[in-house]
């Protein structure tokens, strides 16, 4: 009851109720539910992706403002190529638009970007924009937004195994050394993974990296996801006992 009242009071005051000294360092989000959001409103699925892109902007900005160091979002999976061509084109066009806009204000906003996944199958224009974005990011000291694009975790692990096998002088194999062959090399594992839209599965997202991540599931569709929902997810995270396999006290 006390927790409920505390949450209600926080919403009324507009102030978050999480503890600033216990924020997750790295939050990852499966941006799911854009198509269903549009379908519920008798709109084309492209409309859902457009609103979802704006939600991403808001949440990324909020993460930067409250002090999150890393934000990773699942933008397009290796399985998403099975979708209708029109929907895929819409997603790629939105990404291109976002990158053009980001290049103009990344340094001002102190937001750097990294792309995780096989981008070699994307258009030449997109590959060029991604390369330029990552080059600019090298000059920025700020929040890092990782965009998983044409990403699948099983594919990532297979690629890492192949790279290790092809290494002319590989180090002794361990979890730590193997991690350096993943797309996420030098990025800390996510502390909190958020899955909107009511689905309760991993969907081939960060399987290696999420071994000890905390999960937060919500029925909210991604276009409706708010800063207040993120606040609540952080509170849930902060109230969990992360033991990493050790016995509880």
Ranges of each domain in the chain: 23-153+190-237
d(CA 231, CA 228): 5
Kindly list the catalytic residues: 32, 80
The CATH number of domain 23-153+190-237, selected from 3.30.420.10, 3.30.300.20, 3.40.1180.10, 3.30.70.20: 3.40.1180.10
Contact at 8 Å (CB) between 138 and 106? no
In the chain, beta strands by DSSP E: 26-30, 70-77, 111-116, 143-151, 192-195, 214-217
Residue ranges in the chain whose pLDDT is less than 70: 1-15, 246-249
Per residue in 174-230, pLDDT (tens digit) is 999 999 999 999 999 999 999 999 999 999 999 999 999 999 999 999 999 999 999
d(CA 43, CA 61): 27
Residue 239: predicted pLDDT: 95
Residue 242: predicted pLDDT: 84
Full-model pTM: 0.91
């Amino acid at each position: 009851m006390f927790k409920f009242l505390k949450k209600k009071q926080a919403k009324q005051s507009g102030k978050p109720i999480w503890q600033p000294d216990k924020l997750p360092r790295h939050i990852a989000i499966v941006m799911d539910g854009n198509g269903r959001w549009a379908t519920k409103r008798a709109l084309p699925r492209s409309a859902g992706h457009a609103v979802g892109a704006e939600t991403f902007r808001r949440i990324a900005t909020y993460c930067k403002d409250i002090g999150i160091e890393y934000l990773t979002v699942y933008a397009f999976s290796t399985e998403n190529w099975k979708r209708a061509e029109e929907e895929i084109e819409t997603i790629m066009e939105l990404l291109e638009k976002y990158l053009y806009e980001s290049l103009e204000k990344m340094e001002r906003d102190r937001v750097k970007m990294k792309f995780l996944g096989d981008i070699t199958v994307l258009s030449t224009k997109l590959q060029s924009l991604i390369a330029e974005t990552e080059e600019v990011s090298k000059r920025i000291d700020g929040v890092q937004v990782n965009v998983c694009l044409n990403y699948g975790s099983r594919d990532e692990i297979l690629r890492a195994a192949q790279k290790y096998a092809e290494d002319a002088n590989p180090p002794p194999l361990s979890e730590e050394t193997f991690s350096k062959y993943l797309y996420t090399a030098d990025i800390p594992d996510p502390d909190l993974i958020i899955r909107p839209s009511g689905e309760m599965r991993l969907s081939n997202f960060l399987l290696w990296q999420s071994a000890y991540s905390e999960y937060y599931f919500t029925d909210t569709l991604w276009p409706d996801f708010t800063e207040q929902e993120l606040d609540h997810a952080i509170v849930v995270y902060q109230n969990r006992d992360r033991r990493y396999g050790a016995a509880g006290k």
